[in-house]
Amino acid sequence: MSHDTDLCQLSRALKQQARLQGFDPVGIARLPGSARLQLRTAALQRWLEAGHQAEMGWMAAPRRQAADRLLEGARSLLAVGLNYHVASNREPGALAIARYAWGRDYHRVVSQRLKRLGRWLEAQHPGVGWRACVDAEPLLDKAWAEEAGLGWIGKHSNLIHQQRGSWMVIGHLLTTLELDPDQAAKPLCGRCTRCMEACPTAAIREPFVVDSRLCLAYHTIENRTTELPKAISSSLGPWVAGCDICQEICPWNQGSIPSSEDPDVQPRPWVLSLTRQQALSWDDVTWRDKLQGSALRRIKPWMWRRNAAAAAVESPPNLNGSEAQ
């Protein structure tokens, strides 16, 4: 069997194993990446120089600009997507929480499954190097997912898949093996600017450029000040943990988007029915209990109360005629 044939078979087998772990779409990219990946890296540097990262200093980590700094001898990566869109709706009058955080902490879910893939790969090729990466790692995760063909980066900076939309979290498995790469995704946003127009704070300053200093998601999750800026609190609407406005309005997220049956992404009941009264009255112990094993633990109890106090409760929007987001 030739080297190329073996390479192709291993790449197909690895992607099949990834699908068995619940990932879809999946794809492979070869390091150091194409010219477009290098342009994405340069764009990150310009974004940082403009101060759009706000207080997220970790975004400037030098390792983020070179994937091989995360794993010595890395030659390829497997990119995976985990669909978190479910057939559930926020209850009328409830506060709004971003969909990605409705279920278990995706960092743990994706990391655990990627590590299983790494161990499988090591069983096929003893001694191979690998490293599982979720978005907490200093990697240009969306750019590499685009490079591996999972989808394209939309003007709202989220990754969009042609059939699944942008309702997915992504992860990567770096490896020292030379795998068979997939074709990079082609951007299909065209002239559409709905996400830019829908953002209540105009945080999407230009296509593909999100200013965290104006982003509701940033302020509800990362901002550690006792009071939210007036421009944010006046635009908050029902959002108290993240924001899905730019995704809800996206044409690629309309229609029959697949709904996941994965138990790890199913919503905790309180997430869909959280009222302002509950958010303001729950003590720290109650909050810690509610947030056990959740990506929302990043939001401290006092921040929940701060956000809820500023929120304007409303009924969930019905953007596609069939489902409230």
Which three-class secondary structure state does DSSP give residue 227?
A: coil
Amino acid at 209: V
Contact 141, 227 (CB under 8 A): no
d(C-alpha 29, C-alpha 148), whole Å: 5
Rama region for 118: left / alpha / beta (φ>0; ψ in -120 to 50; rest): alpha
Is there a catalytic annotation at residue 135? yes
Measured CA to CA in angstroms, residue 322 lies from 89, 159, 273 at distances of 11, 23, 19
Alpha-helix runs per DSSP H in the chain: 3-20, 35-49, 106-124, 141-147, 194-198, 216-221, 230-233, 245-248, 269-273, 276-281, 284-290, 301-310
d(C-alpha 242, C-alpha 238), whole Å: 10
Which residue in the list 4, 6, 24, 135 is annotated as catalytic?
135
Contact 232, 201 (CB under 8 A): yes
Nearest one of 101, 93, 89, 90 to 277, comparing CA atoms: 93
Catalytic residues: 135
